[in-house]
A and B are shown apart, each in its own frame.
Chain A
């Protein structure tokens, strides 16, 4: 169920356009703080893609998504023009709603 919703989200934001250039990670404050890729935009985008493919995320990875500050610094530098912050925001909402159920 959640996978289907995440799939729609991946399509809505065309996340698979990600060229994996990693430009976004260098401006991300949460990655700078922890140096864990689950706390960076490229990592978060790919976690969402993996979720849509039915791969489970564990609690650390879940926190990785939730810890995004929605500061949008990543959006500014993404050469593919992905609305990274918005995609993560929507994914967070899905995960939280799903957890509350």
Chain B
């Protein structure tokens, strides 16, 4: 590994102002939003074109320099952290919406565009890109495709993998290729694009993508309901689905979340005997709404829901949603000196009651506070673990709790990561999940990594270890 020659060659293919080498600025690339150990890169390169990405990666492959793609750096599992003296490829300068094509129902976009920026542009055309991670103000198209991101609208619209038609990808050997198609249907051999989506920057660097877009819903009605028992709230989700409803969102907030929000937002109140709250958005044609609401209210009452409120008025909808929007800030502000680790597991919706109970038992076993909310329409729970970063025993409990939550999800037929990814923090849990589902898959994954990246230079040590 001859770094001096690599550096000289890099400066031949990209101009000097796109190469960062000063220590303070490099340190800004040493972390993401997770508790994973930080590491300072040797260099940061900010390419502006696919060609520059390709030239830089060719050099990294030739000089065997590990290289880590990086975008919003909002990851929660250490995916963009440059371990072992890696170089960071910062893709935030590739930030143009290239084409909105309503006839062919796609948007062609560079990867450094943030999801909220993309949706602001699409809204001007009456359309949207449905995957909506809670970090959408800061999360980019590239980071979201690489992380396989999803969000509240997942129950109805799935995650990013369901919304990408094709993408320009620079392989770890430096060749740029176009994977997938621009068309909705695509059977061009093996589906390599699906391998790259969710690969967390280990199989290729995405530089631009053709994303499917959807017309904005004609009308949305928001319902809010409380439950005296979390298990009833979880059961309600199953009943909603069994009755054929596919709500736009079904957000679950446990009592801990409501308590935290009421401590932070004075106007927020909730019935003292309630243990859980659901916020449900129904979308559809305006004339069908009354009928939808009537059946939904019936289902919710049948499941033990009370104080049911619904509205189609924008301000009122915002007021109801405040409980969810304020949840993360409430945790950050109320538990001073502590940190919040948003965990991410999924179980089949029918197993939500057991999962919610299980989270309670794990919290008491380790004596750490866990506040849970989640996009429960698709069985996705975010148990937020509150820990003290300056207390070693609290940090080690954090990892034990994280592990037990993952193992519980596996036991209930779920998965250890729904949308945040594996990074470095969940590699062990991934192995545990594959042990149940067939460990031979780990061998296949390692082989796939070697085929894509024979020199193991692209984001090495993330998702899986190859040796």
Indicate, yes or no, whether A interacts with B. Answer: yes
The residues of A that contact B95 with a CB separation of less than 8 Å are 35
Q: Is A89 an interface residue (CB 8 A)?
A: no
In chain A, positions 46-101 with a C-beta closer than 8 Å to chain B are: 46-47, 50, 55-58, 60-61, 64, 77, 79-81
> Contact between A21 and B29 (Cβ–Cβ < 8 Å)?
no
> Top 4 nearest A-B pairs by Cβ distance?
A79-B329, A22-B138, A61-B24, A80-B332
B73 at the interface (CB under 8 A from A): yes
B332 touches A77 (CB 8 A): no
Interchain Cβ contacts under 8 Å between A and B, 9 examples: A14-B336, A22-B72, A25-B72, A35-B95, A36-B20, A38-B25, A58-B24, A60-B22, A61-B22
> Is A19 interfacial (CB-CB < 8 Å)?
yes
Point out the residues of chain B lying under 8 angstroms from A23, CB to CB.
Answer: 135, 137-138
The answer, yes or no, to whether B380 is at the interface (CB within 8 Å) is no
* Chain B, Cβ-Cβ closest to A51: B24
Known: A38-B24, A81-B329, A81-B332. A19 touches B339 (CB 8 A): yes
Number of B interface residues in the complex (CB < 8 A): 31
Is the C-beta of A7 less than 8 angstroms from some C-beta in chain B?
no
**Total A-B contacts with CB atoms under 8 angstroms apart:** 78
Residue from B22, B31, B116, B137 within 8 A of A20 (CB atoms):
B31
* B contact set with A: CB distance below 8 Å: 20, 22-25, 27-29, 31-33, 46, 72-74, 92-93, 95, 114, 116-117, 135, 137-138, 328-329, 332-333, 336, 339-340
Q: With A19-B33, A55-B27, A61-B24 in contact, do A26 and B332 touch (Cβ < 8 Å)?
A: no
Contact B33 A21 (CB under 8 A): yes
* Identity of the chain B residue whose Cβ is nearest the Cβ of A49 in the assembled complex: B27
Which residues of A sit under 8 angstroms from B339, Cβ to Cβ?
A: 19
Contact B24 A21 (CB under 8 A): no
A26 to B73 alpha-carbon distance, docked (Å): 12
Q: In the complex, how many residues of chain A place their beta carbon closer than 8 angstroms to a beta carbon of chain B? A: 30
Q: How far is the CA of A86 from the CA of B46 in the complex (A)?
A: 29
Q: Report the minimum CB–CB distance from B35 to chain A (whole Å).
A: 10
Minimal Cβ-Cβ distance residue in A for B114: A26
Residues of A within 8 A of B72 (CB): 22, 25
For A43, the chain B residues whose CB sits under 8 A away are 25, 28
A38 to B17 Cα, complex, angstroms: 14
Residues on B with C-beta less than 8 A from A42 are 28
B27-A21 in contact (CB<8A): no
B23's nearest neighbour on chain A, judged by CB, is: A55
Whether A19 lies near B340 (C-beta < 8 A) is yes
Interface string of A1-43 (1 = CB under 8 A from B): 0000000000000100101111101110000000111100011
Q: How many angstroms between the C-alpha atoms of A34 and B137 in the bound complex?
A: 18
Given contacts A19-B339, A79-B332, A81-B333, contact A58 B22 (CB under 8 A): yes
With beta carbons under 8 angstroms apart, the residue of A35, A37, A79 that contacts B25 is A37
Quote the shortest CB–CB distance from B147 to chain A (angstroms). Answer: 14
- Rounded to whole angstroms, the CA-CA distance of A57 and B22 in the bound complex is 9
A21: shortest Cβ distance to chain B, in Å?
Answer: 5
Known: A19-B332, A37-B25, A79-B328. 17 other contacts (CB 8 A): A14-B336, A19-B33, A20-B73, A21-B74, A21-B135, A22-B138, A23-B137, A26-B117, A27-B137, A35-B93, A35-B95, A43-B28, A55-B23, A56-B23, A64-B25, A80-B329, A81-B332
Task: Knowing A22-B33, A26-B114, A35-B95 are in contact, say whether A80-B22 is a contact too (CB < 8 A).
Answer: no
Residues of A within 8 A of B24 (CB): 38, 47, 50, 55-58, 61
Decide if B73 touches A22 in the complex (CB within 8 Å): yes
Q: For residue A17, which residues in chain B have a CB less than 8 angstroms away from its CB? A: 332, 336
CB neighbours of A19 from chain B (8 A) = 33, 332, 339-340
Residue of A with least CB distance to B25:
A38
Q: Which residues of chain B have C-beta atoms less than 8 A from A38's C-beta? A: 24-25, 28
Q: How far is the CA of A17 from the CA of B117 in the complex (A)?
A: 27
